[in-house]
């Protein structure tokens, strides 16, 4: 098992999930590791807070009403193509049948299951942010 740093202070994570209980749980887990978390309920809200919050990593549900995680990551990648920069991103889903290949093609670098052990979320986010384990 990978040993995680005691604190990941300063790492900003944008969490996007339409389910309030999932958003809150992910927020608690990440904040317990010292991350700064902004959690929103929709792709539109995520796009709105993207520039002011300037996240280091995006954690985004795939299936959401009013705009999927695929739609959001494509919007972000289009914006990056115009303005530069890159936001590392992981899809997160409760569905076993979600296609990792489709997530990757849409622009996500990782794919997590909502029912994975929370340490897997932290490890993936840490890797995406370029943080190293101790």
- pLDDT tens digit string along 8-35? 778 999 999 999 999 999 999 999 999 9
Global pTM?
Answer: 0.90
The per-residue pLDDT for 83 is 94
The per-residue pLDDT for 95 is 80
* Burial (CB count within 10 angstroms: exposed 0-12, middle 13-18, buried 19+), residue 105: exposed
What residue ranges define each of the domains in the chain, with the CATH number in brackets?
Answer: 12-128 (3.40.50.2300)
Q: What Rg, from alpha-carbon coordinates, does the chain have?
A: 14
Ranges of the chain whose pLDDT falls below 50:
1-6, 132-134
The per-residue pLDDT for 9 is 76
């Amino acid at each position: 098992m990978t040993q995680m740093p005691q604190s990941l202070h300063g790492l900003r994570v944008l969490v996007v999930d339409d389910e309030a209980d999932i958003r809150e749980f992910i927020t608690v887990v990440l904040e317990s590791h010292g991350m700064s978390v902004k959690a929103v309920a929709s792709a539109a809200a995520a796009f709105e807070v993207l520039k002011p919050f300037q996240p280091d990593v995006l954690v985004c549900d795939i299936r959401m009403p009013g705009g999927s995680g695929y739609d959001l990551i494509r919007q972000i990648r289009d914006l990056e193509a115009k303005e530069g920069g890159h936001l590392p991103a992981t899809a997160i889903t409760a569905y076993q049948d979600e296609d990792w290949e489709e997530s990757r093609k849409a622009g996500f670098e990782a794919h997590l299951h909502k029912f994975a052990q929370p340490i897997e979320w932290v490890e993936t986010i840490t890797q995406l942010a370029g943080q190293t384990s101790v």
